[in-house]
Structure 1
Amino acid sequence: MVKKLTVTLFGLSALVLAGCGTGEPAGQQPPPPAVEVAQVSAEPATLWRSFTGRVIAPETVELRPRVSGYIDQVSFAEGALVKRGDVLFTIDQRPYKARLRAAEADLQRVSSQLSFSEKQAGRAQQLLDSKAISREEYDRRIASRDAERAALSAAEAAVENARLDLQYTQVKAPISGQVSRALVTKGNLANADATLLTTLVSVDPMYVYFESDEQTFAESRRLLKADSAPTVHIGLAGESGCPHKGQLDFIDNRLNSHTGTIQFRAVVPNPEGTFKPGQFARVEMPIEKMDQAVLIDSKAVLTDQDRRYVYVVTQENLTERRPVQVGSRQGKRTVIRSGLQTGERIVVNGLQKIFFPGMPVVPEMVAQQGQGGSTQAAGH
């Protein structure tokens, strides 16, 4: 039994020695890891920022009748595009036609009375000159003429008012745009200035309102001063990116003290009716133009509590931890305000292989993501 145990231990020792003989020598360091590096460069760039906005129609009308009556006809297809002046609703016109005829008849009566009074006043002047009537009778006839003239003006106003009321029985579109559904249908009573018949919104162009925080507004002030109507990019839900272009045409005159934001407005063409009032929209607005901007791959920027840093590869292929001051993120790249110089190499892939500053690496040069493209905002 002892003999067998001795043979077994001897065999294990031989195997261990054989394994040690074929492995690496004790204490030998592993080779430096390979990492991908990119060269820092500067380029002209326009920096953008993203905001969330809402689509608003420039003109919105709640259609209400100016006269009361029963709806006699609805003359539009719900949801259709209408032109300014199109008749949308007709209120029963018979009572208003009758009132117009009565007003016109009263006008004729007053006009006839005025003609008689003017003749009486003319004769009164002749009779007064010949002392055939008293001064009192003369004054009475002149006053009667003046009263009939006033009655004629009132009768003419009554006719005009009756004619307007008759015109108001046709409720017309005050603007061109898209009409909503009919809220009151044929046969129902509509009260003047009270009953909501339908709503109408303009469709081309459309407004997009969005709000910016105070710091972003301060950053963009120089650019906005140089270009009072910069182009903004707009995207809707379900769309990739921001394919629509609009013009910034309004900045509010004060900041909201409750939210610390200021309101912006962009106007966007809408010939196809893509934009609908009430929609949410993504708005990308330029906030700064830089002649020489240093932008690097965002993956290269690391965080240590509240500090940002990158790994720079020296000429000796050693890693150096470099603190940087970062700006806004633009797409897949980040603006570096300070800490890097053009021509330096930074690690963009393989950062997990670096365990400490000064560690040797094998750099493999690659191009930065997004280099040479436009700098678009990744988010706000």
Structure 2
Amino acid sequence: MKRSIFLLALPFLLAQCNPKEEVVKQQPMPVHVAHPVARTVELTDIYTGRFSPVEEVDLRPRVSGYIDSVHFKEGQKVHKGDLMVRIDPRPFDAAVANADARLKQVEARHVLAENNLARAMNLVNKNAIAREEFDIRESEVKQAAADVLAAKAALTTAKLDREFADIHAPISGIAGKTIITPGNFVSGGNAGADILTTIVPHHPIYCYFEVDERRVLEFTRLYFKGEADGREGEPAKVEIAVSDSDEFEFQGTINFSENQLDPNTATLQIRALVDNENEFLTPGLFARVRGKVGEPIERMLVRDSALGFDQSKRFAWVLKDDNTVERRYVEVGSLQEGGLRVITDGLTTDEKIAVSGIQLLRPGAPLAPSEVEMVPNSTDV
């Protein structure tokens, strides 16, 4: 029985040891390759930013009282000086009348005190009254004068409170929603006063963006080489695009940069002022900010689509003499129009890189390369 089993397995064992078995060879993969091109380009960088209002005012009452009426529409444009909210003015009108009456009283006392002092002066010169009596009359005049000043100040305060009962827009802008409606009591005149609405102007508008440490150092080196202006130079211009368009259709002028990098993010905050006359841009929108870095200079360019990603690094597949490729990490610069990426280090114009099928490439794998032009927006795949 054991011998029969061995005889049945023998053909299989002999097949495994067959020296004539053919080895399947890997077929070369077709791939397009191209030389990097050298061109004079205007170096730019693109940053992520956000629009922010130049001003923002929380409209708060300066006096307390019941809301009598609201004179603005939510979400509508208001102008500086427009009446926004009116607090019931009757208590303040009464306070003004009371302060005015008080002033008239103390003014009458002041006049009487001055007359008494004048009579006392004649009498003291004739030795008809004691000197002490004269001093009392003189003191009464001074006290009456002080009472007049206090009454005038109280009247001024009462008039101010009456004025503050009519709340006007301190700036021009877009009004927010009405937070407190007529009939409600509002507390005013302190830091915790109720917010009635918020006014935010849209013209002009700020765009804040962050520049990383490496770009700050790069710009600083350009400055010390005389290839870029510093803080004292002409205000730099930037171009801005919003999220629904690839076109940088808005213009801004840098008018502020922080004096130190944020230690938590290693970035420098920069601010650009955008005219926004038609008020198309709204605070809070994201933006892509493109700014020029130095003067035009000759740089090497490759298709951005020909570069791979390895975490935060970029690499290209460089063609070797044996028609295989090696992965080469490169330093990249700004993206130019048409999809060409600036290469600052890692390649030469004598080398060729793969520009198609880069997701399928592996080091050492045989290729069948065909050379094409390194042109932007190519349809080569």
Q: Which residue of 2 aligns with 1:75?
A: 71
Q: Secondary structure, in 3 states, of the residue corresponding to 1:41?
A: strand
What CA distance in whole angstroms lies between the structure 1 residues aligned with 2:100 and 2:160?
Answer: 13
Residue type at the aligned position of 1:60: E
What CA distance in whole angstroms lies between the structure 2 residues aligned with 1:32 and 1:75?
Answer: 74
Find 2:42's aligned residue among 42, 45, 48. Answer: 45
Cα gap change, 1:301/1:65 in structure 2, threshold over 3 Å: closer, same or farther? closer
Q: Which residue of 2 aligns with 1:99?
A: 95
| Residue 257 (structure 1) aligned with residue 263 (structure 2) | yes
Cα gap change, 1:94/1:57 in structure 2, threshold over 3 Å: closer, same or farther? same
Q: Which residue of 1 aligns with 2:198?
A: 199
Cα gap change, 1:128/1:370 in structure 2, threshold over 3 Å: closer, same or farther? farther
Find 1:132's aligned residue among 110, 125, 128. Answer: 128
Which string of whole-angstrom CA distances, capped at 9 and with x for unpartnered residues, describes residues 25-73 of structure 1? Answer: xxxxx9997956456223142221322x222111111111111111111
Which string of whole-angstrom CA distances, capped at 9 and with x for unpartnered residues, describes residues 167-224 of structure 1? Answer: 0000111111111111111111111142221111122111122222211222233346
Q: Secondary structure, in 3 states, of the residue corresponding to 2:43?
A: strand
Q: Which residue of 1 aligns with 2:238?
A: 232
Cα gap change, 1:32/1:167 in structure 2, threshold over 3 Å: closer, same or farther? closer
1:124-273 pair list within 5 angstroms? 124-193=120-189, 194-221=193-220, 222=223, 223=228, 225=230, 227=233, 229-273=235-279
Cα gap change, 1:104/1:283 in structure 2, threshold over 3 Å: closer, same or farther? same
Residue type at the aligned position of 1:269: D
Find 1:122's aligned residue among 118, 122, 135. Answer: 118
What CA distance in whole angstroms lies between the structure 2 residues aligned with 1:56 and 1:65?
Answer: 25
Q: Which residue of 2 aligns with 1:23?
A: none
Cα gap change, 1:237/1:35 in structure 2, threshold over 3 Å: closer, same or farther? closer
Greater CA deviation, 322-331 or 255-264? 322-331
Q: Which residue of 2 aligns with 1:66?
A: 62
Cα gap change, 1:320/1:61 in structure 2, threshold over 3 Å: closer, same or farther? closer
Q: CA deviation at 1:345?
A: 6.9
Q: CA deviation at 1:82?
A: 0.8
Cα gap change, 1:105/1:215 in structure 2, threshold over 3 Å: closer, same or farther? same
Q: Secondary structure, in 3 states, of the residue corresponding to 1:54?
A: strand
Cα gap change, 1:94/1:281 in structure 2, threshold over 3 Å: closer, same or farther? same
Q: Secondary structure, in 3 states, of the residue corresponding to 1:368?
A: coil
What CA distance in whole angstroms lies between the structure 2 residues aligned with 1:304 and 1:356?
Answer: 19
Check whether the contact 2:54–2:205 (CA below 8 A) recurs between aligned residues.
yes
* Alignment TM-score, normalising by the size of structure 2: 0.76
* Alignment TM-score, normalising by the size of structure 1: 0.77
Q: Which residue of 1 aligns with 2:17?
A: none
Q: CA deviation at 1:229?
A: 2.6
Which string of whole-angstrom CA distances, capped at 9 and with x for unpartnered residues, describes residues 85-127 of structure 1? Answer: 1110001111111110111111111111111111221222222
What CA distance in whole angstroms lies between the structure 2 residues aligned with 1:320 and 1:257?
Answer: 41
Q: CA deviation at 1:263?
A: 1.6
Greater CA deviation, 215-224 or 58-67? 215-224
Cα gap change, 1:33/1:167 in structure 2, threshold over 3 Å: closer, same or farther? closer
Which string of whole-angstrom CA distances, capped at 9 and with x for unpartnered residues, describes residues 263-318 of structure 1? Answer: 2212111222222222222222334444222222234556899784564799xxx9
Check whether the contact 2:210–2:267 (CA below 8 A) recurs between aligned residues.
yes
Check whether the contact 1:45–1:290 (CA below 8 A) recurs between aligned residues.
yes
Cα gap change, 1:295/1:39 in structure 2, threshold over 3 Å: closer, same or farther? closer
Cα gap change, 1:31/1:341 in structure 2, threshold over 3 Å: closer, same or farther? closer
Unaligned runs of 5+ residues in structure 2 are 1-26
Cα gap change, 1:283/1:67 in structure 2, threshold over 3 Å: closer, same or farther? same
Q: Which residue of 2 aligns with 1:368?
A: 375
Q: Secondary structure, in 3 states, of the residue corresponding to 2:230?
A: helix
What CA distance in whole angstroms lies between the structure 2 residues aligned with 1:91 and 1:64?
Answer: 12
Cα gap change, 1:88/1:361 in structure 2, threshold over 3 Å: closer, same or farther? closer
Q: Which residue of 1 aligns with 2:8?
A: none
Unaligned runs of 5+ residues in structure 1 are 1-29, 372-380
CA RMSD of aligned residues (A): 3.5
Q: Secondary structure, in 3 states, of the residue corresponding to 2:177?
A: coil
Number of equivalent positions: 337
Identity percentage of aligned residues = 31
Q: Secondary structure, in 3 states, of the residue corresponding to 1:258?
A: coil
Check whether the contact 1:47–1:289 (CA below 8 A) recurs between aligned residues.
no
Cα gap change, 1:101/1:307 in structure 2, threshold over 3 Å: closer, same or farther? closer
Q: Secondary structure, in 3 states, of the residue corresponding to 1:225?
A: coil
